[in-house]
Amino acid sequence: MTDKEEQDDELLALSHIFDESVFTSTPAEEGEEAGGQFLWNPQLPDDFHVQLNQSQGAEQAELHKVRYLPPVVLNFQLPPNYPSTRPPSYTLSSKWLTMQQLTSLCQKLDSVWEENKGMVILFQWMSFLQDEAFTHLGLESPLDLSNVLSRKRRLSGRGSAPRDSVGKNEEGSLSTSGKPSGSALTWDSRAIQDIASQDRLLPTILDYDKHEKRRQFEKECFSCEVCFLEKLGAHCIMFVGCGHVYCKDCMRDYFTVQIKEGNVNGLMCPADKCESQAHPSQVQGLVDTELFTKYDELLLQTSLQTMLDIVYCPRPSCQCPVIIDRESSLGNCPGCCYVFCTLCKLTYHGLSPCRVRSDELRKLREEYLKGTEEEKNYLEKRYGKQTLRNAVEEAYSNEWLDQFAKQCPQCSAHIQKIDGCNKMTCMKCRAYFCWICNHILSRNNPYSHFNQPGQGCFNRLFEGIQTNGVDDEDDWMWEALQ
């Protein structure tokens, strides 16, 4: 069999062994040699991380969990006298391997050819890269990316090896890299670092990992947990926080109903007791433009309401969000240019006191209720009858809230406990907190707060709820009647 026939048979066999996303070949044409490309996609363990030291001498490395690394690319050409005499000519390129590691792989491919000279070698090369290269290089988690580009490469910005690197000699035999007369290691001329700079390495890897995860997700088949139909991932969405998968048709209907009802904080995973929120980009990809605009506006409004340094313009026709100047209590509306006091919501009065300060409501109520007719008339003329009525009502409301409600430790919204355990969920900002000590709880494991011996709330998760059909309030009333 001639070299040409062996080359054609080898390329045909490889095209049947490997998927076209991994292996591609180009047949020989007039004046050009046959060639191709093979992508080595490392199979990483589940808990694999890459690390990057931001600066020299840093005590802690920056760790990032990844599932996929950019492929190492083997480009090859088959000379006319391959495989009888000469091996394939090739380059090996990577974004995340050092020049020393790429050179080591080139040396290994050369040694495989020397052991099997005269035989077709591409399948053995590809099998080595796919099955043994990771172990051959001694790679493990965390993979250090701090000095992938050599100092000479970083200074020169070159993508290939320096001129004194080794390669094929004039006779076409392969030479291996070794140590030159100096102290530096020699690079193989076929080893190529396909990355522009060290600063771009980590973003490139994380971006590839993100897109590859998405590509693999779209290829898999999932069972929607709502309609229970089997669909490709390309027709599904996955909630990032929990990993639950649903088809786009079901989620489109679900999102549409929630947004029309104004419940933008209700776009959560439909799974029981799961509180993972849908990402805005997922919502945008499913609902129409008009509905997403409404969702975006409501989401912004809800977010602003939870911010302690934001108030709304008191003019009913404006209601634009305004950033508070806490030192001067000055609010300057960017929408209607209304300058107001953020305490009393009236026109800004400088250093003069507010007409009715919030901390004076209780005192004002007591003065008005206990005052004589003359005193009441004076207060009504000074503050206005409606203002005094509001002060009385608000003071009573504050007393009721102080007695029967507690403030969320995160957004300060008043919460009343009607039933259930002492792990509370704020309906405004969705924070978890303890009803007993008002401490913010962990999002990942809120119940650990009640399971730590020695802590004030240990074993008090269900304290105060109904016991044997009679709650604490009923017990108190019954004891009072005895």
Which residues touch 49 (CB under 8 Å, ≥6 apart)?
63, 64, 65, 66, 141, 142, 143
230: domain CATH number? Answer: 3.30.40.10
Cα 351 to its chain centre, rounded Å, is: 46
Whether residues 335 and 285 share a domain: the answer is no
Whether residues 104 and 189 share a domain: the answer is yes
Whether residues 275 and 255 share a domain: the answer is yes
Residue 481 lies inside a defined structural domain of this protein? no
Predicted pLDDT at 418: 78
Residue 462 lies inside a defined structural domain of this protein? yes
Max intra-chain CA distance, the chain: 122
Residue 361 lies inside a defined structural domain of this protein? no
Q: How far is the C-alpha of 309 from the C-alpha of 410, rounded, in Å?
A: 13
DSSP letters spanning 137-164: TT--SSEE-TT-S-HHHHHH--SS--TT
Whether residues 416 and 398 share a domain: the answer is no
Residue 360 lies inside a defined structural domain of this protein? no
Q: Which two tokens stand for residue 16?
A: 């049947």
317: domain CATH number? Answer: 2.20.25
Residues β-bridged to residue 222: 231
Q: How far is the C-alpha of 446 from the C-alpha of 273, rounded, in Å?
A: 13
Domain count for the chain: 5
Residue 215 lies inside a defined structural domain of this protein? no
Residue with tokens 């003069």: 352
Cβ contact 229:130 at 8 Å: no
Predicted pLDDT at 375: 80
Is 421 among the catalytic positions? yes
Number of residues in the chain? 482
Whether residues 23 and 168 share a domain: the answer is yes
Q: Which two tokens stand for residue 223?
A: 């069972």
Whether residues 22 and 158 share a domain: the answer is yes
Whether residues 160 and 196 share a domain: the answer is yes
Residue 482 lies inside a defined structural domain of this protein? no
Tell which of 300, 324, 342 closes a domain. Answer: 300
Predicted pLDDT at 10: 92
Whether residues 73 and 169 share a domain: the answer is yes
Whether residues 133 and 190 share a domain: the answer is yes
Pairing outcome for strands 230-232 and 221-223:
antiparallel
Q: Which two tokens stand for residue 12?
A: 């045909």
Closest CA relative to residue 249, chosen from 287, 204, 299, 281:
287
Whether residues 173 and 241 share a domain: the answer is no
Q: How far is the C-alpha of 36 from the C-alpha of 25, rounded, in Å?
A: 4
Tell which of 404, 427, 462 closes a domain. Answer: 404
SS3 433: strand
167: domain CATH number? Answer: 3.10.110.10
Q: Please pick, among 344, 354, 411, 421, the residue that the annotation labels catalytic.
A: 421
Whether residues 202 and 75 share a domain: the answer is yes
Residue 435 lies inside a defined structural domain of this protein? yes
Which residues touch 360 (CB under 8 Å, ≥6 apart)?
none
Whether residues 189 and 335 share a domain: the answer is no
The per-residue pLDDT string of the chain (482 residues; one tens digit each, 9 = 90 and over) reads: 788 889 889 999 999 999 888 999 988 777 788 899 999 998 888 888 888 765 545 556 678 889 999 999 999 999 999 999 999 999 999 999 988 899 999 999 999 999 998 899 999 999 999 999 988 998 888 888 887 875 545 444 444 444 333 344 333 334 443 333 333 457 888 988 888 778 888 888 899 999 998 888 888 999 998 999 999 989 999 988 788 999 999 999 999 988 888 887 778 898 888 888 888 888 888 888 888 888 888 887 777 666 657 778 888 888 888 877 656 678 888 889 888 877 677 788 776 655 665 556 667 777 777 888 888 876 665 555 666 676 677 767 777 777 788 889 888 888 888 778 888 888 888 888 998 898 888 888 888 888 888 888 888 888 877 654 444 444 433 333 33
Residue 38 lies inside a defined structural domain of this protein? yes
Tell which of 267, 282, 300 closes a domain. Answer: 300
Q: How far is the C-alpha of 244 from the C-alpha of 276, rounded, in Å?
A: 9
- Which domain covers residue 186, as residue numbers? 3-206
Predicted pLDDT at 352: 64
Which burial class, exposed, middle or buried, applies to 383 when counting CB atoms under 10 A from its CB (0-12, 13-18, 19+)?
middle
Cβ contact 92:187 at 8 Å: no
